[in-house]
Amino acid sequence: MRLLPVLLLSATAALTAYSWDVNEKYKGPKTPTTDVSWHADILPGYEARYVNQGEAFDGPCRSTIVRKKCDHDSRRAFLYIHGFNDYFFQKEMGERFVDSGYNFYAVDLRRYGRSKEPWQYPFNIRNMKEYFNDIDSALAQIRRDGNTDITLGGHSTGGLTVAYFAAERGENVGVNRVVTDSPFLEWNYSPFMRNVAAPFIGFLGKMFKNSKVKQGHCDGYAYSLLKEYHGQWEYNTDWKMVYSPPVTFSWVGAINSAQGRLMKKCENIKVPILVMHSSRKIDGCNWTPEFQTGDAVLDPAMIQARGERLGTERMVCTIDSGLHDLILSEPKAREAAYDTMFRFLRIYDKTN
């Protein structure tokens, strides 16, 4: 998520140096997925199915629904939306929800993880509302499975997406509450970068949609997660890369637009919302022990300030020493994040 601070100054050069043409990257046929039946997922104990999302700006696209249902009858469900440079691999989280009586669902959004097609540039987007179809498809499946109480959750860009979804839908959001884990509510930059450079790149993205901006070659956050380095987790680094790829100008514009529209419509969130963030910001690029004690991607103070404006029924909570993805933190912080989520669900459980 850390675009280079030379974002604005390098914009003109980036138009030439990082211009991307899908036809130069992929020469084969763009054949849409037709098999939408449930199959065993890559995570043991889970199952998954594709959802054909029709024709997008880069060809046919799909999303993927992953689920793990309770052994006993339950009408409660939790739907999780991952962040940028990510996919659903948090097996422990799903098991926690199932053990607590929730049918668990997750979505790999279009161009991410299980859903990425060979002709697609990873993680690319031109309008965050494209993800609304991926969420709606999953919610429709959740309701078909008999669930009547639904919580929608998201991490980082996924947190921005679910909050934006709730703000745009208002009374018609179709879920009972929203949970966010370090939501990407604002760029982690100086005022100049936030207010001038990022909007300028977004403006250029309307004309040069697939031109790119490089990101920093930083390993600190990935090394704090991966078990082979200093973390506790194993995941596919082709899908969740150690070094994030360049992002398109249109991606920058889509994020900037969604953040702005969310804050303009923040009072239109009509269901309870939880905003969780770490207790400290970690600066730097390469791993040090401090990377295990805070958010190395976003600024928790910014999340706090904007989170306090979301909706009318809200909880904004700090998780001491949490990583950017709070549920991937060290054990003490991770337990605090789970405790906070389930406490929020109990407080706003209107079925009791």
Residues of the chain with pLDDT under 50: 1, 3-23
pLDDT value for 19 = 40
pLDDT value for 214 = 82
Residue 220: what are its φ and ψ, rounded to 5°? -55, -50
Give the H/E segment covering residue 52: strand 47-56
C-alpha 126, offset from chain centre: 15
Please give the torsion angle defined by the CA atoms of residues 109, 114, 119 and 125, in that order, rounded to the nearest 10 degrees. 20
Task: Enumerate residues 6+ apart whose C-beta is below 8 A from 141.
Answer: 65, 67, 105
pLDDT value for 190 = 64
Average model confidence (pLDDT) across the chain: 90
Which tens digits make up the pLDDT trace of 29-71?
Answer: 898 766 789 999 999 999 999 999 999 999 999 999 999 999 9
pLDDT value for 210 = 81
Q: Residue ranges of the alpha helices (H) in the chain?
A: 11-17, 22-25, 91-99, 130-144, 157-169, 191-192, 198-204, 220-225, 249-264, 300-307, 331-347
Report the b/e string of 238-251 with b at 16+ CB within 10 A.
ebbeeebebbbbbb
pLDDT value for 15 = 38
Residue 313, domain member (yes or no):
yes
Cα(255)–Cα(247) distance, rounded to whole angstroms?
A: 11
pLDDT value for 22 = 38
Which tens digits make up the pLDDT trace of 289-347?
Answer: 999 999 999 999 999 999 999 999 999 999 999 999 999 999 999 999 999 999 999 99
Task: Enumerate residues 6+ apart whose C-beta is below 8 A from 260.
Answer: none
Residue 177, domain member (yes or no):
yes
pLDDT value for 3 = 46
Residue 352, domain member (yes or no):
no
Q: How many domains does the chain have?
A: 1
DSSP class of 204: H
Give the H/E segment covering residue 314: strand 314-319
Residue 329, domain member (yes or no):
yes
**One-letter amino acid of 213:** V
* CA atoms within a 13 Å half-sphere pointing along the CA-CB vector of 347: 16
Cα(297)–Cα(5) distance, rounded to whole angstroms?
A: 14
Residue 218, domain member (yes or no):
yes
Cα(108)–Cα(49) distance, rounded to whole angstroms?
A: 10
Task: Enumerate residues 6+ apart whose C-beta is below 8 A from 113.
Answer: 64, 82, 86, 87, 88, 236, 239, 240
pLDDT value for 192 = 66
- Report yes or no: 119 and 144 within 8 Å, Cβ to Cβ: no
C-alpha 293, offset from chain centre: 21
Q: How many Å is the Cα radius of gyration of the chain?
A: 19
CATH number, domain containing residue 225: 3.40.50.1820
Nearest to 46 by CA among 80, 15, 85, 86: 80
Residue 55, domain member (yes or no):
yes
Domain that holds residue 314: 11-347
Residue 1, domain member (yes or no):
no
Residue 2, domain member (yes or no):
no
